[in-house]
C-alpha cells in the first residue's frame, strides 16, 4: 500500500511543482526536524512495545487497547510518510533540471532533507506496526491453516 501512495503522490507532486513552481514561496525547512522527531519517537515506541508484547522480563504486559491505538498511529504515519516521500520525490525530479538558480538549489536541499525525514518516518511507522504483532501471529493475507 505505501508504494501505491508514494507513486501517486510523486506524480501529483511532479505535475503540481512543474506547473506552479514560480508561484509558490520557498520551502520551509521546519518539516525536516519535525518528521525526524516523529520518526525517533515512533522508533523508540516500537522498541518498547515489542518488548512489552513479547513479555520480556522486567516489562509490564501491553494493554490490547493500547496496542490497537499504536497500530492505528503506525498506519496513519505510514500513509502520511508515503505522501511526503512521493510528493517531495516528485518535486526533486522537477527541481533537478533547474539547479542553476540559487532559490531552486535551496528548495532542492530542503526537499531532499524532507524526503529523507519522510523515509525515516515511514521506516519507523512500519517497524511500529510490526512491533504490535503478537508473537506467532501470521502476517495478514497469508495462507490460513
Q: What is the mean pLDDT of the chain?
A: 90
Per-residue pLDDT tens over the stretch 39-76:
999 999 999 999 999 888 888 988 889 999 999 999 99
Note whether residue 72 is domain-resident.
yes
- What's residue 24's pLDDT? 80
CA distances to 24, 25, 47, 55 from 139, rounded to whole Å, are 43, 44, 19, 20
pLDDT of residue 144 exceeding 60: no
Read off the C-alpha cell for 139.
502476517
Total-model pTM: 0.88
Domain count across the chain: 1
Note whether residue 13 is domain-resident.
yes
Amino acid at each position: 500500500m505505501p508504494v501505491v501512495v508514494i507513486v501517486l503522490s510523486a506524480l501529483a507532486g511532479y505535475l503540481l511543482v512543474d506547473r506552479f513552481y514560480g508561484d509558490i514561496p520557498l520551502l520551509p525547512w521546519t518539516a525536516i526536524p519535525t518528521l525526524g522527531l516523529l520518526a525517533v519517537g515512533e522508533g523508540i515506541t516500537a522498541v518498547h512495545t515489542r518488548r512489552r508484547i513479547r513479555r520480556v522480563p522486567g516489562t509490564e504486559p501491553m494493554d490490547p487497547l493500547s496496542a490497537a491505538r499504536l497500530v492505528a498511529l503506525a498506519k496513519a504515519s505510514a500513509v502520511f510518510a508515503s505522501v511526503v516521500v512521493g510528493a517531495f520525490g516528485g518535486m526533486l525530479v522537477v527541481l533537478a533540471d533547474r539547479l542553476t538558480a540559487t532559490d531552486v538549489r535551496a528548495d532542492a536541499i530542503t526537499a531532499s532533507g524532507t524526503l529523507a525525514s519522510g523515509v525515516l518516518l515511514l521506516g519507523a511507522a512500519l517497524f511500529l506496526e510490526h512491533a504490535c504483532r503478537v508473537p506467532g501471529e501470521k502476517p495478514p493475507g497469508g495462507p490460513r491453516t
